[in-house]
A = this chain, B = another copy of it.
Amino acid sequence: MCAPYAVNLGVTLTVLSESCDDPAALVVPSSPVGAHTDLDAVRAFAAQCDVVTFDHEHVPQHILRALVDDGVRVHPGPDALANAQDKLVMRARLTQLGIPCPPWAAVDSIDQVEQFATEHGWPVVLKTPRGGYDGKGVLLAKSVAEASDWVDRLSGGEQLLIEQAVPFRRELAVLVARSPSGQAAVWPVVHTVQTDGICTEVIAPAADLDEELAGRLTRDALTIAAELGVTGVMAVEVFQIDDADGNSAYVVNELAMRPHNSGHWTMDGSVTSQFEQHLRAVLDLPLGDTRARSRWTVMGNVLGGDYPELYPTYRHLMARDPGLKIHMYGKDVRPGRKIGHVNVYGDDLLALRERAQHATDYLQGVITE
């Protein structure tokens, strides 16, 4: 999704693709095939680039560090990226910075799980430190019995992250971009609506959000970006909670160091899209205006459903809603997979949510009219 913005800016992309029918390879002329875990392949690829960046966080640290040693400009760099690759690293660092987190610990035995639950109550949340996304790698355990399966599977030296299952009002996200020169820009705080652990809708800006809370969250995101040395776009996902005194507060749930689903609304809803901003940031160009262009923008995720053929649905959707902005990713349709999104913007939030919901339901085959 950076490609359209690279075209406009005259920036030439080259993509190391998993296969020649990778969605990125379908739209970027230069897209050599190679694995992001293959040092030689990544190194040969990076030698062609002025700057290297990522569309996921899974490039191993030893490869990132080898590139840096080769003199390649890698954004975000390995030290920053470690916080998005390993949730235990992230929790330790955020806690050190005084950023609100849920109560957490590193555990490797069922005794430690039980001790944590005794202190913070059941259920608890168990997370594999690495590789999870969209609810994968996360277990809500209501008892020792439910937790023991994951603990038993640990190999020597492996740990799990355990967290209190924080009762929250809703999930929010704030997106920040930071350049190697240290310039940073933040978009308005958004509300991310989750269904079965997957984000299905984003409302920008979050409705009825206390200004003081939004300000604090924005400042914390800037602090994280600066202290972790983040370059490029980072999403900070948080739970909005009520604190012990009943006041509105938040705890950080996850960090993502790349353009993120919670920022797809910016493609049609902000002066500067997160994808243009990511390019500007990693190239160390001055950042663009992050203001919203409309009172409200609603993004709806299209998940793979029963309709493998999307194009017949275009005819109906475009005729029903000429203002609907459709973004499809060229991915194979698999049930539950994010294969596209839609954006709508305007003044009437309820109407916008209905339009986004209708469009995604229709593309997913949930409704047929």
Hey, which bits of chain A sit against chain B, CB under 8 A? 1, 3-5, 7-10, 12, 25-29, 31, 185, 271-272, 280, 285-289, 291, 293-294, 310, 314-315, 318-319, 322-323, 325-330, 340
Contacts and interface: CB of A to CB of B under 8 A. Distances in A.
Nearest to A331: B10
Given A3-B4, A25-B29, A26-B29, A286 B319 contact: yes
A315 B286 contact: yes
Given A8-B327, A10-B329, A322 B288 contact: yes
A288 B318 contact: yes
Given A10-B310, A327-B8, A318 B285 contact: yes
A76 to B, nearest CB: 20
9 contacts: A9-B314, A9-B326, A10-B310, A25-B29, A29-B29, A287-B322, A288-B318, A288-B322, A293-B294
Given A9-B326, A25-B29, A28-B29, 16 more contacts: A1-B7, A3-B3, A3-B27, A8-B325, A8-B327, A9-B314, A10-B310, A29-B29, A271-B325, A285-B314, A285-B315, A285-B318, A286-B322, A288-B318, A288-B322, A289-B323
Contacts of A322: 185, 271-272, 286-289
Question: How many copies of this chain?
Answer: 2
A14 to B, nearest CB: 12
A318 B10 contact: no
Contacts of A291: 323
A7 B4 contact: yes
A183 B271 CA distance: 30
Contacts of A328: 8-10
A340 B286 contact: no
Contacts of A1: 7
A340 B8 CA distance: 9
Contacts of A280: 318
A305 to B, nearest CB: 16
A125 B292 CA distance: 48
A26 B8 contact: no
A102 to B, nearest CB: 36
Contact of A27 (B29, B272, B285, B340): B29
A5 B4 CA distance: 8
A314 B5 CA distance: 14
A181 to B, nearest CB: 10
A25 B330 CA distance: 20
Contacts of A319: 286
A12 B10 CA distance: 20
Contacts of A5: 4
A273 B12 CA distance: 23
A285 B328 CA distance: 16
A71 to B, nearest CB: 20
A120 B194 CA distance: 71
Contact of A4 (B8, B272, B310, B340): B8
A11 to B, nearest CB: 9
Given A286-B319, A319-B286, A340 B10 contact: yes
Contacts of A26: 12, 29
A275 to B, nearest CB: 10
